Amino acid sequence: MRVKILAAVTSVLAIAPLAFSGFAMAGPRAVLELFTSPFCSACPPADALFTELARSPDLITLVMPVDSMDRPGRTDPLAKPAFTDRQAAYAERRNSDMLFTPQAVINGAAEAQGSDADEIREGIAQTLNVLTVPVDAKAAGKHINLSVGGAGKAAAKTGVITVLPFMRDHTEPLRGGRSAHYANLVRDVIPVDTWNGEPFKARLLRQDFAQYDGIVVLLQAGTNERPGAIIGATRIEFAKSGRS
C-alpha cells in the first residue's frame, strides 16, 4: 500500500470528506506484536490470548500473519511477506536465529512464546521504560495529523516512524469448517519518515485508510530494515458514522 504524506507546506488535495471520525488513545504501557499462522498448531491459543489482550486500554496489540508456513496448495490469504520480513529483522537485530510461530515481540525489544501470558508479562516488565517519546495522531477533516516529540531522555536519538493500518476484528474461514479470529489484524507496514531526535509532524490523507478500522503509529529505534526498540506509539481508531 502507498500513502500520500502531506507536509505542512504542501497544497491540500481536493478529496471528498469521509464519513468517519477518529480518536487516539493515551500513551500505551506496551506494544505487543504477534507473528502467527493458521497452519501452526500452537497458534490458535496465541490468537485467543491476543484477542483478550486487545481489550486492555494500556496495551497496543498487533497481529501479523506470516507466510513462512505457506506451502504449495496451502497459503494464508492474510499473510504478507512484509510481516515475515519484520519478524526476521527483529531476530537479526538481536543476533538471534530464534524464528518461530507463534512469536510475540514486546516493545520491539523482548520476545516471548505468543501463547504464554507469563512470558509476555515478563517481557513487558523488562521493557517497561522504553516508551518515552510522545507520539500523537488525530483525525482532522480530510487528514490524519501525526506528531512525534523530541528525544528528551530516550536512549535512542534517531529512528523511523511507521504506520500500521489494522482491522479491529476479523474472522477468516479455513478448510474443514474451521476459522481463525484475529483482533487488531495488521494489513500493511508503511514507512513514513526518519526521525532525528527533533519534534516531527506529518499529515496523511484519511482516504488512504478508509477501508481500515484504525492505524497504529510507531516510533522505533533502528531502521526499517533492522527495527529496534519501540520508543513511542499511539493508536487511532476510526468510528464510522452510525456505528457505535
Q: Name the maximum alpha-carbon separation found in the chain.
A: 54
Q: Is 119 exposed, middle or buried (0-12, 13-18, 19+ CB in 10 A)?
A: middle
Q: Which residue has the higher pLDDT, 73 or 119?
A: 119
Asked if residues 50 and 33 have their Cβ atoms less than 8 Å apart, the reply is: no
Q: What is the pTM of this model?
A: 0.88
Q: How far apart are CA 189 and CA 108, in angstroms?
A: 14
Question: Is 244 a residue whose pLDDT tops 70?
Answer: no
Read off the pLDDT of residues 198-242 as tens digits, 9 standing for 90 and up. Answer: 999 999 999 999 999 999 999 999 999 999 999 999 999 997 643
Q: Which residue has the higher pLDDT, 240 or 11?
A: 240
Task: Name, of 19-23, 93-97, 167-171, 239-243, the range with top average pLDDT.
Answer: 167-171
Spell 173-189 as b/e; 16+ CB within 10 A means b: eeeeeeebebbbbbbbb
Question: Is 118 a residue whose pLDDT tops 80?
Answer: yes
**DSSP string covering 196-241:** -SS-EEEEEEGGGGTTSSEEEEEEEEE-SSSEEEEEEEEEEEEEET
pLDDT of residue 204: 97
Read off the pLDDT of residues 27-78 as tens digits, 9 standing for 90 and up. Answer: 799 999 999 999 999 999 999 999 999 999 999 999 999 999 999 988 999 9
Percent of the chain scored above 90 by pLDDT?
76
Question: Is 26 a residue whose pLDDT tops 80?
Answer: no
The pLDDT of 177-189, averaged and rounded, is 94
The pLDDT of 170-183, averaged and rounded, is 88
The pLDDT of 20-33, averaged and rounded, is 71
pLDDT of residue 5: 60
pLDDT of residue 97: 74
> Residue 175's pLDDT band (boundaries 50, 70, 90)?
confident
Question: Is 99 a residue whose pLDDT tops 70?
Answer: yes
pLDDT of residue 16: 28
> Residue 24's pLDDT band (boundaries 50, 70, 90)?
low
The pLDDT of 177-194, averaged and rounded, is 94
Q: What is the DSSP letter of 43?
A: H
Phi-psi region of 141 (alpha: psi -120 to 50; beta: other; left: phi over 0): left
Q: What domains can be seen in the chain, in order of their start residue?
A: 5-12+19-240 (3.40.30.10)
